[in-house]
Chain A
Amino acid sequence: MTVHDLNGARGAARVGIGGPVGSGKTALLEALLPCLLARGVNVAVITNDLVTHEDAERLRRSGIIAPERVLAVEAGACPHTVIREDPTLNIEAADRLDRSFPGLELILIESGGDNLASTFSLDLVDYWLFVIDVAGGDDIPRKRGPGVLRCDVLVINKTDLAPHVGVDLDRMFAEARAVRDGRIVVGTSCRHGRGVETVADLLCHDVLFRDMSHPDVPIRDAAAELTRAETS
């Protein structure tokens, strides 16, 4: 059984992308999707908006991904309610994508723009990114918002704007690493494609286990043991 077969049988990995309004969540998606598609990742997207389908329509029109692979969830209230308190709408949308696209490996779930307290429920996602941006102020990591502290990957976007908005980028990264106890922080400039391949590397490694599909890597698969245990 290959990794691809396994993913097809058990559903796609689900990865959340959260962060404040205007930080670049949709821009990250637009930059990330071509990287993933170039690597042969079978991917689909769910966008969350407050009362429109704006981000979904933007992606569908972009030509980056087949329009039918983009679903929209309308939160109708605070965006975090549908990714944390009751993620049913997003879970149903993800299940629908799994059923519609056999072999789907990855579903990216973009939250609506929210505040620094926004977090994803692990009932919805396997892994989540939190996107902040340089222009929002270099004090954001110091504010220790739960989104900044708890995400699997903190993405600091718009690094190219640092000299224009008076931000000390080195200090901002150092403070971000400090509040996160050294967990992953990635800098991006999505408009210029910088850092996006690193985000793709992380997803391929951490939730798609792409390196594990290499034929030289020995894998002792516990599923075979389960079969033996059930029949013994």
Chain B
Amino acid sequence: MTSSGGDDGREGAHSYGGAAGPEALAPLRVVAILGDRAEAGWHRRLHAIEHAGAVEIVEVPAADLRRHRFRARSMCGREVIVDLPRDVFLFDGAVLYAEPDLALVLRVEAEIWLRLHPLDAAAALELGYHAGNLHWRVRFDGDDLLVAAETKAADYLARVAPLLDEGRVRHVG
């Protein structure tokens, strides 16, 4: 089997954030959340560390906030091992590490929301049925249904292609 066929080879890597840089930064294991960047005390403390250019951001997709164990990379390329207790959950702005020479802060990647507009009540009922049946995460905004795209947008639109093709639902953003 060739490497491209991958009969027993590892194909790709599971990672978040920026790529590893040429310099090997010391990996860091996160076993607790220290605080919230938005809190005044932490804001001041991080601001001071920022002056030293030592605040690193770790970006994760919103869909992965429920994870407790994974490997990530800070935007600077540092490997971060997230290993949290089961009753601790990540959130945007979570302070993962803080020393005078280095701080790590979690940032949630901007989510992509598909905006679908049903043209009448019958189309809305059918669209709502599909969204529930497909276990999509949704929000309501006036007459529109917003769908969180956790994979490619095309994967979601393909599931309601007949409604879109018939013009009964419009993808408006």
- Give me 6 A-to-B residue pairs in the complex whose CB atoms sit less than 8 angstroms apart, sorted by A's number: A173-B5, A195-B7, A197-B8, A209-B83, A212-B27, A221-B31
Contact yes or no, A223 B8, CB < 8 A? no
Is A141 an interface position by the 8 A CB rule?
A: no
Cα-based distance from A173 to B14 in the complex (angstroms): 17
Contact yes or no, B6 A212, CB < 8 A? no
Interface residues of A (CB under 8 A from B): 6, 10-11, 13, 84, 117, 119, 121-123, 126-127, 144, 146, 149-150, 152, 159, 169-170, 173-174, 177, 180-188, 194-195, 197-198, 201-202, 205-207, 209, 212, 217-223, 225-226, 229
Which B6-49 residues have a C-beta within 8 angstroms of A? Answer: 6-14, 26-32, 34-35
Cα-based distance from A13 to B68 in the complex (angstroms): 9
Residues of A within 8 Å of B135, CB to CB, are: 84, 117, 119, 146
Cα-based distance from A117 to B84 in the complex (angstroms): 28
Residues of B within 8 Å of A169, CB to CB, are: 1, 5, 7
Contact yes or no, B155 A187, CB < 8 A? no
- Nearest opposing residue in chain A for B30, CB measure: A222
Is B86 an interface position by the 8 A CB rule?
A: yes
Contact yes or no, A206 B66, CB < 8 A? no
| Shortest Cβ distance from residue A163 to the other chain B in the assembled complex, whole angstroms | 12
Is B162 an interface position by the 8 A CB rule?
A: no
Cα-based distance from A201 to B10 in the complex (angstroms): 9
Residues of A within 8 Å of B2, CB to CB, are: 170
Knowing A6-B83, A217-B27, A220-B26 are in contact, say whether A186-B6 is a contact too (CB < 8 A).
yes
Knowing A10-B85, A122-B67, A144-B158 are in contact, say whether A152-B14 is a contact too (CB < 8 A).
yes
Interface of B is mostly: loop
Knowing A219-B28, A222-B32 are in contact, say whether A184-B96 is a contact too (CB < 8 A).
no
Contact yes or no, B27 A219, CB < 8 A? yes
Cα-based distance from A185 to B27 in the complex (angstroms): 26
Contact partner of A174 (CB less than 8 A), chosen from B4, B10, B30, B83, is: B4
Contact yes or no, A144 B34, CB < 8 A? no
| Shortest Cβ distance from residue B16 to the other chain A in the assembled complex, whole angstroms | 12
Knowing A6-B83, A11-B85 are in contact, say whether A126-B34 is a contact too (CB < 8 A).
no
Cα-based distance from A207 to B70 in the complex (angstroms): 6
Contact yes or no, B69 A13, CB < 8 A? yes
Contact partner of A187 (CB less than 8 A), chosen from B1, B85, B158, is: B1
- Nearest opposing residue in chain B for A202, CB measure: B10
Contact partner of B12 (CB less than 8 A), chosen from A146, A174, A184, is: A184
Residues of A within 8 Å of B7, CB to CB, are: 159, 169, 173, 187, 194-195
| Shortest Cβ distance from residue B173 to the other chain A in the assembled complex, whole angstroms | 23
Q: Would you give the 0/1 interface string for B146-172, flagging 1 where the beta carbon is closer than 8 Å to chain A?
A: 000011100100100000000000000
Contact partner of B5 (CB less than 8 A), chosen from A84, A126, A170, A221, is: A170
Q: Would you give the 0/1 interface string for B76-105, flagging 1 where the beta carbon is closer than 8 Å to chain A?
A: 000001011110000000001111001010
- Nearest opposing residue in chain A for B79, CB measure: A212
Is B137 an interface position by the 8 A CB rule?
A: no
Residues of B within 8 Å of A185, CB to CB, are: 6, 11-12
Residues of B within 8 Å of A177, CB to CB, are: 6, 11-12
Contact yes or no, A126 B12, CB < 8 A? no
Contact yes or no, B8 A194, CB < 8 A? yes
Is B139 an interface position by the 8 A CB rule?
A: no
Contact yes or no, B66 A226, CB < 8 A? no
Contact partner of A198 (CB less than 8 A), chosen from B10, B28, B155, is: B10
Contact yes or no, B34 A182, CB < 8 A? no
Residues of A within 8 Å of B130, CB to CB, are: none
Contact yes or no, A186 B10, CB < 8 A? yes
Contact yes or no, A173 B4, CB < 8 A? yes
